[in-house]
Amino acid sequence: AKENGKGQLVKYDPELDRDRLRVAELEKELRDALASGEVQPAFQPLVSATTGRITGVEALARWRSKNGPVSPEVFIPLAEKSGLIDALGAAILKASLLEARAWPGINLSVNVSPIQLCNPDFAPFVISTLNEAGFYPRRLTLEITEGVLMSNPDQARRAMDALKAIGVGFALDDFGCGYASIGALRQFGFDRMKVDRSLVWALEEGQGEGILNATIALATALGIPVTAEGVENPYQAGVLTRAGCDLLQGYLIGKPVSADEITRALVEKAAA
Ligand code: C2E
Ligand code: CA
Ligand code: CA
Ligand code: CA
């Protein structure tokens, strides 16, 4: 036990020290993994709700460390805290543009951390990366969460405007699980809204369907198309389609897979 400064004794907790040590180790491993190209994108299909055709893919970062796969829910926040998110985001953007340019007519969505968007170098970096990859900017959509719109609206707006000017699209991610307002959709000129999976999963409960229908109706009234993520069963797909959602994404349609598997799926579809 040691004193906590208020004259009270605090029990020494070896658990806490172990956690800190583990986090420090993981951070070093992530740094090395980024340097050696061990963090790579997987791709999850987005399909048209009405035709079922693949219209796009979302790149999702994957890290297979030597101790096994680490979840993005763990390494993304770690990268954000330790200053590695710019390098991670750059690696995922580059790698996914190089894969996606082989998929004709397919839109690529890439997640952007609020920290990246607030870096003044971000927009110029995206523009030069698109040029180097020879990727048509209109085929790229950046997914961002609302937090940054509140914490740093001016910088977010500057970066978004610079990229929108060359045709890059923006989707407001995780809509419905935080405080993002319909107003923000309009103010910042989003091209698309992504309904959070928690809203989709609440469909089969109490007022879930009413909330979802109202959310989709509001976006639609503003002329903003809606993607639903986390679609796991045909019931959810049916309700979402009837509500006017135009793109569906989720395990029902396909899990995140390697670039090769996306290529195979596209070839099979084309042959069918
Ligand atoms: P997100 O952007 O909301 O991505 C959707 C998450 O839902 C992904 O988790 C995806 O694998 C998962 N998912 C999709 N469909 C289903 C479904 O039907 N059922 C279930 N149970 N899950 C589904 P993942 O890959 O673990 O990524 C978690 C979060 O990590 C992402 O949430 C995103 O916020 C972040 N992330 C992932 N890759 C990147 C990246 O390259 N950059 C940044 N900044 N963040 C990333
Ligand atoms: Ca996303
Ligand atoms: Ca999301
Ligand atoms: Ca999320």
Tokens read off for 74: 């763990």
Q: Enter the ipTM.
A: 0.98
Could you tell me the distance, in angstroms and rounded to a whole number, from the CA of residue 17 to the centre of ligand 1?
A: 30
For ligand 1, whether the C-beta of 173 sits within 6 Å is: yes
Distance between CA 79 and CA 96 in Å, rounded? 19
Provide the residue count of the chain: 272
Could you tell me the distance, in angstroms and rounded to a whole number, from the CA of residue 5 to the centre of ligand 1?
A: 42
Residue among 71, 69, 111 at smallest CA distance from 88: 111
Ligand 3 is an ion; residues with CB less than 5 A from it: 173-174
- pLDDT tens series, the chain, 272 aa: 555 666 666 677 777 788 888 888 999 999 999 999 999 999 999 999 999 999 999 999 999 988 899 999 999 999 999 999 999 999 999 999 999 999 999 999 999 999 999 999 999 999 999 999 999 999 999 999 887 788 888 999 999 999 999 999 999 999 887 666 777 888 899 999 999 999 999 988 878 899 899 999 989 999 999 999 999 999 999 999 999 999 999 999 999 999 999 999 999 877 77
Residue ranges in 101-224 assigned as alpha helix (H): 114-117, 122-133, 147-151, 153-164, 182-187, 197-201, 208-221
Residue with tokens 């719109």: 149
For ligand 1, whether the C-beta of 111 sits within 6 Å is: yes
Say if CB 239 and CB 226 are below 8 A apart. no
Q: In this structure, which ligand is nearest to the CA of 58? A: 2
For ligand 1, whether the C-beta of 76 sits within 6 Å is: yes
Query: Distance between the two ends of the chain, CA-based, in angstroms?
Result: 69
